[in-house]
């Protein structure tokens, strides 16, 4: 029987029934886990407790791990979970303690990760079922947030019928900037848009780092045009830079 995996981001009760005649019609499912709360906010430095309960008929071992989300891998090292493994008999509960203490130079603002609670089969158990439960964690690091992206020069390279444009950007702020899906570009002449371009770059830009946005144009327009580059920094900040270039 293949292991069954389930991931819940909200408060959830996961049930998995073994396909056997003996288990049919039983009042209690063989494997059932619940966790509360399923979303936790930690104002660093601080700690919080969550409760894990085995509502099934079988005893289970639960392994506790962490997973980064939104490219925030550093936040994994800021969270300590005690204990990292628990054995729960039927009907038993366990308390897990979450502690966070980011380093001094941690970026201010919100940092997100998942705490994964995963069961594994016990030797001699009647059911070979694995469940995975996810608890969303938000770590809030105090401090003033500065979002500042500096544009560099735009260079044009000509190769046969294609035009390649390279634009350097630098993160002068103190928080990581998301670039993937936040950058747009277009070519304009006399107020008329000639083409839309899709820049290629790394997905994120950490404070103090630089990146190069690569744009390709395969159209037939030549001569002087205006290249317009737009970058969104969150929901309320939009940057725009215009370059006069020759294709």
Mean pLDDT value of segment 139-165: 91
Half-sphere exposure at residue 73, Cβ-oriented, CA atoms within 13 angstroms? 3
Quote the percentage of the chain above a pLDDT of 70.
85
Most confident listed range (43-52, 197-206, 234-243): 43-52
> What is the Cα–Cα distance from 55 to 53, expressed in whole angstroms?
6
Summarize pLDDT for 101-111 with one digit per residue, the tens.
999 888 898 88
What number of H helices and E strands is found in the chain?
A: 0, 19
Mean pLDDT value of segment 180-208: 90
Position 24 pLDDT exceeds 60 = no
Question: What is the CATH code of the structural domain delimited by 13-141?
Answer: 2.60.40.10
Confidence band, pLDDT 50/70/90 cuts, at residue 19:
very low
Position 3 pLDDT exceeds 70 = no
**119 burial via Cβ count (<10 Å: 0-12, 13-18, 19+):** buried
Q: What is the pLDDT of residue 14?
A: 41
Summarize pLDDT for 40-76 with one digit per residue, the tens.
999 999 999 999 999 988 889 999 999 988 667 778 8
Q: What is the pLDDT of residue 165?
A: 94
3-class SS of residue 4: coil
Mean pLDDT value of segment 187-215: 90
Averaged pLDDT score across all residues of the chain = 84
Domain ranges of the chain: 13-141, 149-246
Candidates 3.40.190.80, 3.30.230.10, 2.60.40.10, 3.40.50.720; correct CATH number of 149-246? 2.60.40.10
- The larger pLDDT score, comparing residue 111 to residue 22, is at 111
**149-246 and 13-141 share a CATH fold:** yes
């Amino acid at each position: 029987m293949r292991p069954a995996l389930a991931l819940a981001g909200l408060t959830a009760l996961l049930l998995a029934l073994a396909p056997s005649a003996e288990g049919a019609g039983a009042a209690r499912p063989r494997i059932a886990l619940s966790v509360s709360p399923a979303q936790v906010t930690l104002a660093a430095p601080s700690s919080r407790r969550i409760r894990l309960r085995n509502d099934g008929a079988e005893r289970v071992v639960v392994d506790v791990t962490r997973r980064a989300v939104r490219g925030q891998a550093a936040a994994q090292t800021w969270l300590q979970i005690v204990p990292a493994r628990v054995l729960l008999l039927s009907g038993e509960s366990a308390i897990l303690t979450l502690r966070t203490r980011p380093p001094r130079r941690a970026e201010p603002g919100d940092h997100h990760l998942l705490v994964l609670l995963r069961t594994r089969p016990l030797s001699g158990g009647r059911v070979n079922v694995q469940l995975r439960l996810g608890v969303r964690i938000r770590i809030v690091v105090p401090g003033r947030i500065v979002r500042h992206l500096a544009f560099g020069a735009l260079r044009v390279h000509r190769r046969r019928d294609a035009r390649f444009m390279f634009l350097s950007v630098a993160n002068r702020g103190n928080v990581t900037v998301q670039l993937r899906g936040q950058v747009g570009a277009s070519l304009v002449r006399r107020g008329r848009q000639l083409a839309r371009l899709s820049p290629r770059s790394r997905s994120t830009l950490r404070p103090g780092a630089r990146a190069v946005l690569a744009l390709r144009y395969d159209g037939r327009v030549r001569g002087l045009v205006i290249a317009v580059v737009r970058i969104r920094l969150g929901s309320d900040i939009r940057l725009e830079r215009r370059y006069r270039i020759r294709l």
